[in-house]
Amino acid sequence: MRRLFVAIVLFSLSVCLWSQTSPAPQRTAEEEARKQTGMMVRELGLTDSLQMDTLYRLHLKYARLRRESNTRQEELNRLVLFTGELKQILTAEQYTRFMNAQVDSLPRHRQPFYGRRPPRDSDKPTTPSRRQ
C-alpha cells in the first residue's frame, strides 16, 4: 500500500512539474531576420557589409510576410519569391553553396533521389519452378 501511495505521489509530482514548463518564447520578425542572416553569413562566409544588409532586409521582409498568413500555398509562393531575390543578392558560387546546404539539411527520407533506385527483394528475378 505504501509503494502504491509513493508511486501516485511521484506521478502527480512529475505531472505538475511537466505542466509548469513554459513554451518557447516567440521571436519577433527582427530577431528572426537577424538570426537567419547571421546563420547565412557564417555558412557562406560573407564579408560584404552591403550584401549582409541587403540579406537582412530580405529576411525581415519575408519574416513579416510569414507572420501575416501561413497557408501551405502561400508558404510555397514565398519560398519561390525568396529564392529568386536571394539569387540576385548572392554570387553564383554563394548561391550554389547555399542551395547545397539546404539539400544537405533535409532529413534523409526527404532528400531528392537522383539516379537508379536501389533494388528491392521483390525486384529479384524468380527462377521458374521445374514441372514434373
Predicted confidence at residue 1, as pLDDT, reads 75
If residue 106 lies in a helix (H) or strand (E), which one and from where to where? Answer: none
Instruction: Tell me which residue range forms the domain holding 84.
Output: 29-106
Q: What is the pLDDT of residues 94-107, one digit of tens each?
A: 999 988 888 777 77
Q: Is 132 helix (H, G, I), strand (E, B) or coil?
A: coil
Assess if residue 76 is contained within a domain: yes
Assess if residue 98 is contained within a domain: yes
Assess if residue 93 is contained within a domain: yes
Q: What is the pLDDT of residues 78-98, one digit of tens each?
A: 999 999 999 999 999 999 998
Q: How many Å apart are CA 131 and CA 28, to the nearest integer?
A: 75
**Would you say the pTM of this structure is higher than 0.75?**
no
Using pLDDT thresholds of 50, 70 and 90, give the confidence band for residue 127. low
Domain count, the chain: 1
